Amino acid sequence: MVDGTTIRLLSSEIVLLGVLAFLFLAGTFVRRAHGWWPVFTALAFAALLAIYGFVDRRFADFQISDSQGIVLNGPLVVDLFGLLLRQFALVIGLLLALLCWRRHEEELTSERMGMIVALVIGLLIVARANDLVLMFVGLETVSIPTYVLMFLGRRDRGSAESTMKYFFLSVFSSALVLYGFSFLFGLGGSTQLVGAGGIQEGVARAVAGSPASPLVPLALILLLGGLGFKITAVPFHFYAPDVYQGTTNSNAGLLSVAPKIAGFLALIRVYVAIVPERYDLGWQLPLGIAVLTMTLGNVCALWQRDLRRMLAYSSIAHSGYMLMGIASTVAAARSGGIAAVIFYLIAYSLTSLAVFGAFAFLESQDRPLQRLEDLSGLGKSNPLVATAIAVSMFSFAGIPILAGFWGKFGLFTSVLQAAQGAQGNASWFLFLAIAGAVNAAIAAAYYLRLISTMYFQEARGNLPLGGGLGPFATMLASTILIVGIGLFPGITMQRARLADESLPQPSSGTRMRAEHPPAQPGFQDLSRADEGSR
Amino acid sequence: MDNSQILLATVLLPLFGAILMGPCARAGDQVARGVALLVTCVTLYFASMVIHRFPADGGTGQAFAVFDYAWFVGADVAMAPAPRIQFNIGLDGLSVWLFGLSALLMVSAVLISWTAIRDRVGLFYGMLLLLESGCLGVFVARDILLFYVFFEFTLIPLFFLVGIWGSEDRRYAAMKFFLFTLAGSVLTFLGILALVLWDQHHSGTGQMRFMIDELTTGLRAHPLPPGLQSLVFLALFAGFAIKVPLFPLHTWLPLAHVQAPTAGSVILAGVLLKIGTYGFVRFSIPMLPDASRTFSPWMLWLAAIGIIYGALVALVQSDIKRLIAYSSVSHLGFCMLGLFAFNRPGVQGGTLQMINHGLSTGGLFAIVGLIYERYHTREIRDLSGLARRLPRLACCMLLFTFSSIGLPGLNGFAGEFLILLGIFQRAYSESAFAYQGQMLAIAVLSVSGVVLGAWYMLWLVQRLFFGPLREPAQHEPTQHDAAAGVRDLSPREFLALAPLLVFVIWIGLQPGFFLNRMGPTLSRLTDAARAPSPVVRFQNDPTMVRFASGQVSTRE
């Protein structure tokens, strides 16, 4: 039902749609001032973020708030989780607009920026969808601009191959997601996920019934399969190394961030919401996939000499870490797993953008940055960029006192909490924690190799530094954020925890969370979120 | 300024110094060196001010000069209480001398790198100062997560120090050092989290507490079940034993030492290895007393094997630096031996020996660096009779050697004597009958380590400094002394070594001054593990069990 409230809830999407239309239309007429489009787009994101963050965050989401703090307005759910992730999506949009600003490319800049705006609209929708159809629309709104972005202005064979590969596999994964959704629809008799008569209740009914419905495992597997493509989870990871290697550094940065955020948001909104607690398969699947994903990602990354291929495997491994949080939250809702995943997602995305921003800054159109050896001697020739890359690598490796460390702190804590909370399954989660720790150590090997190449090897000729201001700004801003979050993790951590708490309650009633009803998150929680910055 | 502010300034000053190195490097190498020296000296002054005010009898063993800042304290949400991580620092008897040692050695490290480092000087001193901040922070942290943050943070500067300014194989050495330590410490991290979560779920308050004191008290009140306790002990062991390094996890150490620049070796041997032993005394023993007792025979065996193995391998080395690196393995074995004897002489000796080893081995590495600067070789067979050429250097070397082998009157003697006293006491009167045999074996074996230590060190001194003069023929004369050949110790180099020598002699002559300040804290930390477990002792006699436990409780 579309009424005034829905329009108001969708106001940021509508504003961005206006920006998108302006970019496309004006872009066809104004062909000269191509350098201004990224600035304009970035400013649009910044303005929206300011409205969200300071002026009118109440208007944006919390004007309408019932006693539960959760508003189900048809297909939309309004909660702190959505608010936080929507703000973050705008930050990502801002950084991506800067990252994809190519200094020497005269054509198609406005189109590229428009695609980034479209992609952010998709993220905004996914962050708040409570409906299968809307969720799917949101996911596709993230995917389709990605295909276009990968192909825009690129004519070479490697790029074409990687784009086609990504396109076909992504379409295939969308089909899997849809297939899973159709089973969910069958189970719930509705497209609504949480709420009265929603899929959550249907699944709980099907699991409780005897004999238990065989459709539930099937739907969960299809769902994890389809979303597994987006988050590059094993065994659906195999496209990532080829695609990253074939495309440009800025596109690889985009690929490592946008689909992953969308995938994890969808996992939290759909998978975590509908799996009833004490349904063992519900946590066994992500647990197994997590162990496989991080181990395979890290071990394969050890052998890579190609920078983007290595980072592709690294991003696979990071998905594995985040799946640890999903597994522990499904097993024990009070483990704080979602908060940890949110924090890790933020830390990971910023770190990824810092690295790819630095790479995009270092290369130029005719001299792409490809091999690990290209970076040798960077510590001497360009200390600032080398520092940024080193900080990112240490953050990826989870070394204090950077954002990545607190991400791992949250994840390991949630896994151990699950080990305490999930009676009888403690040994599985202990195993998961140890696997995660061992992986963190393995991963450090290739991150350190990159650092040691930059600092301990002599330069082999200068890098062109042709990326221009945009990637440089992305790198700088992301690095500052990584260090800032690392020094003062409380602000982000507290918001992530509130977001976790605000997620819709499972209706099965057996979840541990139900024993401690939330104390009405709403306005007062926003002030508490500010207290968290202390 | 009151004590806590001085303490905070001591920890943060090197950090600011490291940031200052950026502009200083642009102003010139000499400026960077000067500023680095100034920063380390002021840090040392602050540190000695706090230590000077530390109660002479060790007070009650509680922390002194506590500074507290709520670093990361979120409001509770209904779902789960927020973690409360505090930037809480303070000194107690265990950390006070290690803290001072770190500040002292750093001045020496700056001085001996003066002419040895000519490439990227600003960055070098920046890393050194970062390392100082990390080292000081590790020892003063009173929050378990803050400790871990500093613990891991020390890896980064040393990684760069070894990797950029090391010898030929530096890249491999830096990677191996970092990965070995990290692999252990991530498991330690899991262990720490497991402790905190256990405390959270069983303390009744539901708070996630990270303060070491609260955690220790909490874990005493509601200890982990034996199985889990052993598991957590092993997790903590992984990180700390690699850091110590305990045999057979020591393989990274000789490599890192040989490849590191002199200052890196001095700090690595002098301070960083102590973090491992410190971790055992600070966390493993007080928080997991039962598991510590269960594992103590294993730990003692590993320590004894490390003592003998390190000494034997040191005997056959042809490279001076490698020899001293293996001697570190042997000496750290002594520290572990004392700590896991659990009785007062043992623990006090073990802690004192940490300081002693830092002074003597730090000094020895510095001297090796000075020899290398002069002759560009570390091969023992290339050098002989240096005492004629470098009498003052030889004198310092001899003093450090005597300190290292435990000559009475110097610091090594006090430490080793107490450790051996402790382990024999453990063997005779504090072990279950079944264990007495192997405890005695361990004690006797470790005494032979003292003999072996004297052998390889004195043999080294004899080969290097006595006998006919032999120098590498083609050594390049340094710029100062084209005519006179190799110069003896310069005033700057002497100033780098002298403070260490002062303490070598001071601790040797007046060990009580140092031990008194440690005593109360150490008893507090290790007494829980010491209380002889009646279950082990009188397994077959229930009345004896009751009697023994009653006796223990009245005595406490």
End-to-end C-alpha distance for chain B, whole angstroms: 39
Q: If contacts are CB pairs under 8 Å, which of residues 132-151 in chain B contact chain A?
A: 145, 148-150
Tell me the pLDDT band of B379, cut-offs 50, 70 and 90. confident
Residue B333: CB atoms within 10 A of its CB come to: 29
For residue A110, being part of any structural domain is answered with yes
- Secondary structure class of A371 (helix, strand, coil): strand
Which tokens go with A449? 């190799």
* Inter-chain contacts counted by CB atoms under 8 A, chains A and B: 122
Q: Which of B323, B429, B326 is nearest to B378 (CA)?
A: B323
Q: Which of B218, B85, B100, B205 is nearest to B145 (CA)?
A: B85
Contact yes or no for A455 and B75 at CB 8 A: no
- Which of B179, B186, B209 to mutate to test binding with chain A, by most A CBs within 10 Å of its CB? B186
Average pLDDT, chain B: 85
As a whole number, mean pLDDT of residues A494-499 equals 84
Contact yes or no for B153 and A438 at CB 8 A: no
Which tokens go with A457? 């090897």
For residue A531, being part of any structural domain is answered with no
For residue A516, being part of any structural domain is answered with no
What does residue A503 show for φ and ψ, rounded to 5 degrees? -60, 150
Convert the pLDDT of each residue in A80-111 to its tens digit.
888 888 889 999 999 999 998 876 666 778 88
Which tokens go with B25? 């490097």
Query: Taking the alpha carbons of B230, B231, B234, B236 in that order, is the dihedral positive or negative?
Result: negative
Is the minimum CB–CB distance between B19 and chain A shorter than 8 Å? no
For residue A512, being part of any structural domain is answered with no
The span from the CA of A384 to the CA of A468, in Å, is 15
Q: Report the domain count for chain A.
A: 1
Among chain B residues, the shortest Cα distance to A418 is held by B197
For residue A532, being part of any structural domain is answered with no
| Residue-wise DSSP of A350-363 | HHHHHHHHHHHHH-
Say what angle helices B511-530 and B344-375 make with each other, to 10 degrees: 130
Per the CB < 8 A criterion, the answer to whether B309 and B329 are in contact is yes
Is the minimum CB–CB distance between A495 and chain B shorter than 8 Å? no
Instruction: Say what the ipTM of the complex is.
Output: 0.87
Q: If contacts are CB pairs under 8 Å, which of residues 298-337 in chain A contact chain B?
A: 333-334, 336
C-alpha to C-alpha distances, B271 to B141, B353, B362, B526, nearest whole angstrom: 15, 12, 9, 22
Tell me the pLDDT band of A203, cut-offs 50, 70 and 90. confident
The span from the CA of B405 to the CA of B196, in Å, is 41
Is the minimum CB–CB distance between B87 and chain A shorter than 8 Å? no
Q: What is the 3-state secondary structure (H, E, C) of B414-463?
A: HHHHHHHHHHHHHHHHCCCHHHHHHHHHHHHHHHHHHHHHHHHHHHHHHH
Query: Taking the alpha carbons of A162, A168, A173, A178 in that order, is the dihedral positive or negative?
Result: positive
Torsion of CA B487, B489, B490, B495, to 10 degrees: 170
* Residue B65: HSE in the Cβ half-sphere, 13 Å Cα cutoff: 30
Tell me the pLDDT band of B60, cut-offs 50, 70 and 90. confident
C-alpha to C-alpha distances, A456 to A323, A445, A465, B166, nearest whole angstrom: 35, 15, 21, 10
Res A367: pLDDT = 80
The span from the CA of B173 to the CA of A108, in Å, is 49
Is the minimum CB–CB distance between A438 and chain B shorter than 8 Å? yes
- Secondary structure class of B91 (helix, strand, coil): strand
For residue A514, being part of any structural domain is answered with no
Contact yes or no for A516 and B79 at CB 8 A: yes
Is the minimum CB–CB distance between B71 and chain A shorter than 8 Å? yes
C-alpha to C-alpha distances, B5 to B1, B11, B65, nearest whole angstrom: 6, 10, 8
Which residues of chain A are within 8 Å of residue B83 when distances are taken between CB atoms? 413
Provide, rounded to the nearest whole percent, the portion of chain A with pLDDT above 70: 87
Closest partner CB to B186 (pick from A416, A437, A513): A437
Contact yes or no for A412 and B82 at CB 8 A: no
- Secondary structure class of B200 (helix, strand, coil): helix
Contact yes or no for A518 and B201 at CB 8 A: no
Q: Closest Cα of chain B to A451: distance in Å? A: 9
Convert the pLDDT of each residue in A116-147 to its tens digit.
999 999 999 999 888 899 999 999 999 999 98
The span from the CA of A403 to the CA of A307, in Å, is 22
- Secondary structure class of A306 (helix, strand, coil): strand
The span from the CA of A414 to the CA of A425, in Å, is 14
For residue A323, being part of any structural domain is answered with yes
The span from the CA of B182 to the CA of A393, in Å, is 14
The span from the CA of B458 to the CA of B403, in Å, is 11
For residue A398, is it left (φ>0), alpha (ψ between -120 and 50) or beta?
left
The span from the CA of B121 to the CA of B144, in Å, is 34
Q: Which of B250, B235, B275 is nearest to B176 (CA)?
A: B250
Contacts of A41 (CB under 8 A, 6+ apart): A19, A23, A93, A97, A113, A116, A117
Torsion of CA A296, A299, A302, A306, to 10 degrees: -20
Convert the pLDDT of each residue in B140-189 to its tens digit.
998 999 999 999 999 999 999 999 898 888 889 999 999 999 999 999 99
| A410-424 as b/e: b if 16+ CB within 10 A | bbbbbbbbbbbbbee
Which residues of chain B are within 8 Å of residue A452 when distances are taken between CB atoms? 163, 171, 174-175
Q: Is B328 exposed, middle or buried (0-12, 13-18, 19+ CB in 10 A)?
A: buried
Tell me the pLDDT band of A68, cut-offs 50, 70 and 90. very low
Res A160: pLDDT = 84
Among chain B residues, the shortest Cα distance to A453 is held by B171
Which tokens go with A237? 């990871």
Among chain A residues, the shortest Cα distance to B72 is held by A490
Host domain of residue A88: 4-501
Read off the DSSP letter of residue B470.
B
Contact yes or no for A405 and B149 at CB 8 A: yes
**Residue B364, pLDDT above cutoff 80:** yes
Convert the pLDDT of each residue in A299-328 to its tens digit.
999 988 899 999 999 999 999 999 999 998
Res A324: pLDDT = 93
As a whole number, mean pLDDT of residues A208-231 equals 86
C-alpha to C-alpha distances, A172 to A123, A137, A233, A262, B286, nearest whole angstrom: 20, 15, 15, 16, 57
For residue A128, being part of any structural domain is answered with yes
Q: Which residue has the higher pLDDT, A467 or B474?
A: A467
Which residues of chain B are within 8 Å of residue A399 when distances are taken between CB atoms? 152-153, 155-156, 182
Convert the pLDDT of each residue in A336-362 to its tens digit.
889 999 999 999 999 999 999 999 999
Say what angle helices A383-397 and A469-487 make with each other, to 10 degrees: 50
Is the minimum CB–CB distance between B194 and chain A shorter than 8 Å? yes
Among chain A residues, the shortest Cα distance to B194 is held by A416
Long-range contacts of A203-209, Cβ-Cβ distance < 8 Å, separation of 24 or more: A203/A274, A203/A275, A203/A276, A204/A276, A204/A506, A204/A507, A204/A508, A207/A276, A207/A279, A208/A276, A208/A508
Which residues of chain A are within 8 Å of residue B186 when distances are taken between CB atoms? 398, 437-438, 440-441
Among chain B residues, the shortest Cα distance to A332 is held by B79
C-alpha to C-alpha distances, B20 to B13, B127, B129, nearest whole angstrom: 10, 12, 10
- Secondary structure class of A235 (helix, strand, coil): coil
The span from the CA of B404 to the CA of A208, in Å, is 72
Instruction: Report the run of H or E that residue B66 belongs to, with start and end.
Output: strand B64-73
